[in-house]
Structure 1
Amino acid sequence: MSVLVSGGAGYIGSHMVLALIDAGFDVIVLDDLSTGFDWLVHPEASFVRGDVADAALVRRVVREHEVDAVVHFAARIVVPESVADPLGYYLANTAKSRSFLETLIALGVSNFIFSSTAAVYGMVGSDPVSEEAALAPISPYGRSKLMTEWMLFDAAVAHSLRYVALRYFNVAGADPAGRAGQSTRRATHLIKVAAEAALGKRAGIEIFGTDYPTPDGTCLRDYIHVTDLVAAHLDALRYLRAGGASRVLNCGYGWGYSVREVVDTVKRVSGVDFPVRVAQRRAGDPAAIVAGAHCIKRDLGWSPKLADLDLIVAHALSWEMRLGERNRI
């Protein structure tokens, strides 16, 4: 039996494929390459270019490769963009996930891991937020992901589907071996943007708002290394294949850093003092959000290995340099 990874040519998806291949799984990647890159896909994975909402294509792939588990990353993920294009986000993240699920359930695929988000919580305080917290997303992105969580819950009641939905906090860094990293053009991830500025790929960076109710006035976030994140997905896959019940779990470290702290860390690790400009707040940004990470450690046995901001930044910088070399070839 094999694992289908939707969006496996993207940032997190490509790291998931690396982890699955390293662990000895048979892997199929389904990606439309709207934001991903085929060169990021591990050569031992089977690659299919296409859309998760293409039911005929999904049926063919699942049957040909005897897929019994799916890890679903394919989505649009930029909060301000979702505010400007809400219907596009409900199409990509909700409607297409609904079509994907319908096809998979009809084929008897019973194990599903969903890439969700901490944006489902909305405005919370600086204390770690638990999975039991009220769900009040403030952006179409967060709402589009929450709708898919609801669909999963209802589908699991009605059908032989079991799932783990992982609510990501702020994913950053790159594969420690330098095989993959954040390669998206015009990326908005803070550590990615700051690494680009440190390497001269940008003239500088912007801090969006300095009047938030946080210690230094800038947004506070829980930054998780992408390799630790995909390790949680591997743990979830093993949990489901062993018969585990459906779960919704936070995926973060349980502590946060402000935007200014991250920028200062990138400057220190890179040795470059790049320009920083203060700009207005962005729509959809909560002041602070930090994971309550007790449940994922208890239920999946997840044990992060790279929970260090300096290390996350160093790996991001190393990948950014490799990316620059690749683009010059």
Structure 2
Amino acid sequence: MAWLVTGGAGYIGSHIVRAFLAEGIDVVVVDDLSSGHADFVPDSVPFVHGDILDGDLLMHTFAEHDVTGVVHVAGFKYAGVSVQRPLHTYEQNVTATATLLAAMQESGVNRMVFSSSAAVYGTPHTDLVTEDTPKSPESPYGESKLIGEWLLRDQGIAVGLTHTSLRYFNVVGSGALELRDTSPHNLFPLVFDALIDGRTPSINGNDYATPDGTCVRDYIHVADLAVSHVAAARRLDAGEPILPVYNLGSGDGVSVGQIMTTVSAVTGIEFTPVIGPRRPGDPDRIVASGELAARDLDWEMRHSLEEMVGSAWASRQAASAPHI
């Protein structure tokens, strides 16, 4: 028996694959490589290069690898871009999830861990986001993730799908030198690319109602995130009680200014960030509680900010090193 990780060749998915392997659990990967990398998948892991919009491919994969559950990470993850590409976002995140669930139902696979997003909350009017905080997504991306959660809920009612959805904000760091965040939109890659190119990183506004004037957000280490995905899968396998949603939150958050200071210290590159204008709609602070996930899913902030930055920088440097 094996667990299928959709999007397992991506930054987050590849860490989840390794977390499964570390627990001695067989895993298989399906990824279309639209943003993933084939070399992120270990040689020992079966890799199916394909699209989860292809239901026949999924059913064949379930049968061939005796799949017992799915960790669904694949999706179009760029909230800002989703505003310009709503139909593409819904196809990749809603239609594809429905196709996956249909293939699971047809194949008798009834366990899913869904990699959701804190984007479902939009701009919450509370200092600490909990699972019960009202959902008010502000982009097609956030909306598509919330619809994904609804699809799981409805399949649970209709056919007995056992499931949970994990919501989180900003994922950073690296659990292995060969794995890195290659997103063109995320903060750490943007900052590192600027430093490597000799440019000065920028901050979007420094007049927010926070201690240093820059936005405060949840930043969590990707390896910690991966551990909780596996813990959720184990809980489903064991038939233990599990909530429909969990926040993987830090409980306190860090500011963009703190990140810049830490990046300078870790890399040894001195710089003073350029202060640009605010981005429309950016709230002062968004931080989530991880209390329920800590209780049920082995959730813990095991890495300091310095370790998050240091591991991410090491993987970025490794990617730039000449291969002999």
What's the TM-score, normalizing by structure 2?
A: 0.94
CA contact (8 A) 2:7 2:36 kept: yes
Q: Which amino acid aligns with 1:109?
A: V
CA-CA distance at 1:12 after TM superposition: 0.3
Give the distance between the partners of 2:126 and 2:189, measured in 1 at CA: 24
CA distance in 1, matches of 2:60, 2:214: 48
1:261 aligns with 2:258: yes
Specify the alignment match of 2:56 in structure 1: 56
Looking at structure 2, the residues matched to 209 and 304 of structure 1 have their Cα atoms a distance apart, in angstroms, of: 27
Q: Could you tell me which amino acid in structure 2 is paired with residue 181 of structure 1?
A: R
1:225 aligned residue: 221
Shift of 1:288: 1.9
Distance in 1 between the 2:13 and 2:258 partners? 28
Task: Give distance in 2, aligned partners of 1:239 and 1:294.
Answer: 17
Cross-structure match for 1:297 = 294
Number of the residue aligned with 1:27: 27
Identify if the C-alpha distance between structure 1 residues 202 and 134 changes in structure 2 by more than 3 Å, giving closer, same or farther.
farther
Deviates more, 1:73-82 or 1:311-320: 73-82
Contact 2:216 2:284 in 1 (8 A): yes
Distance 1:9 1:102 in 2: 23
In the alignment, what sits opposite 1:248? 245
CA distance 1:217–1:86, shift in 2 (3 Å): farther
Q: CA deviation at 1:91?
A: 1.3
Residue 73 of structure 1 aligns with which residue? 73
Asked if 2 retains the 8 angstrom alpha-carbon contact of 1:80 and 1:282, the reply is: no
Deviation, structure 1 residue 325:
1.3
Letter in 2 for 1:207: I
Q: 1:67-103 deviations in whole A, cap 9, x for unaligned?
A: 0110111111122111221221111111211111111
Matching of residues 249-328 of structure 1 within 5 Å: 249-274=246-271, 276-283=273-280, 285-306=282-303, 308-325=304-321
CA deviation map 1:125-144 (0-9, x unaligned):
46221101100111211111
Cross-structure match for 2:148: 148
> How much has 1:189 moved relative to structure 2?
1.6
C-alpha distance in 1, partners of 2:108/2:278? 46
After superposition, give the CA deviation of every residue in 1:174-205 in whole Å (9 maximum; x if it has no partner): 01x42422134xx222123223333x146232
Match of 2:235 among 232, 235, 239: 239
- How far residue 210 of structure 1 moved from its aligned partner, in angstroms, is 2.9
Partner of 1:107: 107
Q: Distance in 2 between matches of 1:265 and 1:124?
A: 27
Of 44-53 and 203-212, deviating more is: 203-212
Which residue of 1 is the match for residue 180 of structure 2? 181
Partner of 2:4: 4
Deviations, residues 100-129 of structure 1 (Å, cap 9, x unaligned): 111112211111011111111111246221
> What letter matches 2:245 in structure 1?
V
**Paired residue for 1:39?**
39
Q: Please report how far the alpha carbon of residue 286 of structure 1 lies from its aligned counterpart in structure 2 after TM superposition.
A: 3.5
TM-score where L is the length of structure 1? 0.93
Question: In 2, Cα distance between the equivalents of 1:74 and 1:18?
Answer: 16
1:22 is displaced (CA, Å) by: 1.8
Give yes or no for the alignment of 1:84 onto 2:45. no
The 2-side partners of 1:152 and 1:324 are apart by 40
Where structure 2 has 5 or more consecutive residues not aligned to the other structure, the ranges are none
Query: What code does the residue aligned with 2:181 have?
Result: Q
Between the aligned partners of 1:82 and 1:93, the Cα distance in structure 2 is 11
Equivalent residues, number: 323
Question: For structure 1, which runs of at least 5 residues remain unmatched after alignment?
Answer: none
Q: What SS does structure 2 have at the residue aligned with 1:215?
A: coil
